[in-house]
Structure 1
């Protein structure tokens, strides 16, 4: 028997008075967070939610997220986290596809009317029977969504004690929907065991704090598996404090790091770029003294960006690798491993996980490669919910094919070349955008680069670079093209450059390349 909610329950037993969640001026103990999660569980059971039923959750990084997440797990339900940027029809699709019987959604704001969208979607899906509004402040009993009950009304009178449902280790705990860059989003079934093992092993890869309060800054969206595992489940495993930031802002993040004495930060590369570009005054030395671990994931970390972070904060950024389907951590470039960390590498597979390279026919690729990464281990999903054909395409004999192209050195370290779907085919030659981006980022006037393929009459595809210049730089298209021509092979350098003040990004901070093509 195993239920992931033991992460919270164990902390409530061992360290009941320790700060579990910090959000603005709210400081919530392990005991209090666990009590409210118990009330959520009791409420769900009172509404007929049974073991295996789906409970959807659409919330930014607020205390509501762990309240509902662990409350649903305690009830034996499956959590379906939803991206808060989804439009109404997309929310309805996720509710129907998952078969969700309940939906908890944050009220939102005029800029992000999440509650309106979610309630409209809820009313379109007959199978979803319970809607709970998560209002902007604690204790609000009247909903801004006409016809909806608020969270605080729902749990009022519910007992603070709850006997957690018995679930098996291989029962589905969370249904994580893929981003849907190709086709409709699919729900990856992650088990209690998948997520527990990933949290426990992630814990071993963070530095010990030697008696100092262990404090994680959770700005990665918790609805995404990267944030969920590394910034919620792992700190709970360590009985650490989770400092929530609802939306990434470089200056606010640095303020929180300084004020809360943050010891662990994890982000995608664009967040590190945002920290470097922050305009406010911050005690960088104090931040560096507290910070023991900085982790990057979600997409490859450009070497130049990693170097700048180390120079400014005095800490080496550790790079991990994984996907929604792998809970997510699959490999880690750990300085404490026998071979140490290698620049630009995603490192070695974590404990209990195997990685190899395969070709398009799923046959092993020997030596350096390149090839597509395949993964097998305790972190691999059960499959895509109600998608046997899609599952069969990516899972074979326990091996999951990732769609990521990599090479492997003589020590077994893996180095991402690029996403298979992002590869550019120019005049019969393969061009990997990441290599071009790494090169462009080395130019002193380039702050951020994104490279895509655009259609071309004779070459099939042409290489195009979108560039954000360093502040005050006057770099021209011709100057950058001429410079890149000296750095890269003739078929690789970008012939087209477009300068932008910003680039489209997903809610998790990844550059949205499909909008640039």
Structure 2
């Protein structure tokens, strides 16, 4: 199995079909593959050899789609850079991975001088933009225009496909090593449900293409040979316009993005009837938001994916027919390519309904963390990946994620799972979003603290929210303090950065 395999099928079967659609630029599979093979040759001319890492720091584009395939075509290794990181974090990932070649677009060209200074082994910058290149950079389009296509190296199987750095929600980024088998297994297993993509699917890339959530859908679409419709980044109007103009059938979004779409005042003005399937992840979706999405996209089928970078990234799927009742709060059942189990602190399986650590096994589980054998050994044990997520399985195999184990709050000797408190808060009509963390307390060890974003035009006091929570959860789980904010820090994957919330509280105390 290898990521470029679908290209050869498409060239044989549908060479004149659209492969990428980006703004007013459409390229067929014949054109797409020719550019990929020429870019691979250009990379060879820059000294890229087997196993070398090539990074890309860019917004979504058709060139990003070419990068994702030209790197394995050239027998090299992907290193897609998180575009929301600070310069120091970007430099860390480049240095840690030993990346020598970095491709940048217009949005990040200004960062090149600082990265050159911070990354002594970064020998080559390739400029993939529309404006003038920065000094000393190689032109992406010239690499393609001045080199003859080379044969696909067919890098495959257990060979390393990419190093994907974690979003940093729990600490310093780690480079997750995923093989071609890992990535194709996760994509194929997800597609096998019949609830994502099809032979006639048109996939919209609105989530960041550096992230494994979007890349899993991308890999599935490459296998099936359908077109990739691409917008530079998520912005409600751009997404709505792309849906109306290019009529995609499938998209991946996080609940925050879905909320922004349904809340947009102009949403009713767009023809969204082409959309058939929505894959979402990052967190479960509330019943109210789910109903609004289904109203906005008549007939659409929604699937939730639970997973993480380390499992390339899909562990379980909540399929459309299970989006009702109690299961709506779950992460679904094990995906076709995945096994799940819950274990106690000693690694022993626990009974159904008992909270423990969620573990995952299958061909999609990472090879390990780049240059971090101790961290790898801590999470890969006896063939199982230990996720660090607390959860339980019900009698039908639905997994319920109650919290990151490291985010569990211990107050007065009682364990409080922040997800349960957040669920209670979400039921109040004045709450648009919340994040719950533990604050240090000499008396209780920790106290429950809620950070809340109010819905537009809504007003509510902390006391009212506390009283409301007590109607739904135990008193010791109810927030002792409530903070109202305009925004909550999010990772590039759309996950709440609770570490940053804790750090901000620590600075104020």
- Please give the range of the TM-score, normalised by the shorter of the 2 chains: over 0.9
For residues 459 and 208 of structure 1, do their structure 2 counterparts lie closer, same or farther at Cα, with a shift above 3 Å needed? Answer: closer
For residues 336 and 474 of structure 1, do their structure 2 counterparts lie closer, same or farther at Cα, with a shift above 3 Å needed? Answer: closer
Picking from 271, 290, 296, the partner of 1:306 is 290
CA contact (8 A) 2:4 2:154 kept: no
Picking from 471, 486, 489, the partner of 2:474 is 489
Q: Take 1:209 and 1:83, find their aligned partners in 2: how far apart are those partners?
A: 25
Q: Take 2:197 and 2:4, find their aligned partners in 1: how far apart are those partners?
A: 25
Q: Take 1:494 and 1:403, find their aligned partners in 2: how far apart are those partners?
A: 24
TM (norm. structure 2) is 0.92
CA contact (8 A) 1:214 1:263 kept: yes
CA contact (8 A) 1:103 1:122 kept: no
Please report how far the alpha carbon of residue 174 of structure 1 lies from its aligned counterpart in structure 2 after TM superposition: 0.9
Is 1:151 equivalent to 2:135 in the alignment?
no
Picking from 107, 111, 120, the partner of 2:114 is 120
TM (norm. structure 1) is 0.91
Deviations 1:247-305 (A, max 9, x none): 21223222222222221121112111111221224346x42x32211111123333443
Deviations 1:424-476 (A, max 9, x none): 11221111111111111111222222222222231222222222222222222
What residue in structure 2 maps to residue 387 of structure 1? Answer: 372
Q: How does 1:27-426 map to 2 (within 5 A)?
A: 27-108=26-107, 114-135=108-129, 137=130, 142-143=132-133, 145-159=134-148, 161-207=149-195, 213-230=200-217, 232-283=218-269, 286-287=271-272, 289-314=273-298, 315-335=300-320, 342-426=327-411
CA contact (8 A) 2:167 2:493 kept: no
Deviates more, 1:120-129 or 1:180-189: 120-129
Is 1:507 equivalent to 2:504 in the alignment?
no
For residues 245 and 209 of structure 1, do their structure 2 counterparts lie closer, same or farther at Cα, with a shift above 3 Å needed? Answer: closer
Please report how far the alpha carbon of residue 233 of structure 1 lies from its aligned counterpart in structure 2 after TM superposition: 1.3
For residues 262 and 479 of structure 1, do their structure 2 counterparts lie closer, same or farther at Cα, with a shift above 3 Å needed? Answer: same
Deviations 1:160-183 (A, max 9, x none): x32111434000001111123344
Deviations 1:103-140 (A, max 9, x none): 112231xxxxx2232443234433332211121x2xx5
For residues 147 and 165 of structure 1, do their structure 2 counterparts lie closer, same or farther at Cα, with a shift above 3 Å needed? Answer: same
Matched pairs, number: 500
For residues 209 and 378 of structure 1, do their structure 2 counterparts lie closer, same or farther at Cα, with a shift above 3 Å needed? Answer: closer
- Where do 5+ consecutive residues of structure 2 fail to align? 503-509
Secondary structure class of the residue paired with 2:401: strand
- Where do 5+ consecutive residues of structure 1 fail to align? 109-113
Is 1:13 equivalent to 2:5 in the alignment?
no
CA contact (8 A) 2:197 2:203 kept: no
What residue in structure 2 maps to residue 111 of structure 1? Answer: none
CA contact (8 A) 2:169 2:498 kept: no
Secondary structure class of the residue paired with 2:327: coil
What residue in structure 1 maps to residue 507 of structure 2? Answer: none
Deviations 1:313-360 (A, max 9, x none): 3445321111101000111122469x9993222122122321100122
Q: Take 1:210 and 1:124, find their aligned partners in 2: how far apart are those partners?
A: 44
CA contact (8 A) 1:375 1:400 kept: yes
CA contact (8 A) 1:251 1:279 kept: no
Q: CA RMSD in A?
A: 2.3
Deviates more, 1:491-500 or 1:378-387: 491-500
Deviates more, 1:296-305 or 1:447-456: 296-305
Secondary structure class of the residue paired with 1:44: helix
CA contact (8 A) 2:393 2:399 kept: yes
What residue in structure 2 maps to residue 449 of structure 1? Answer: 434
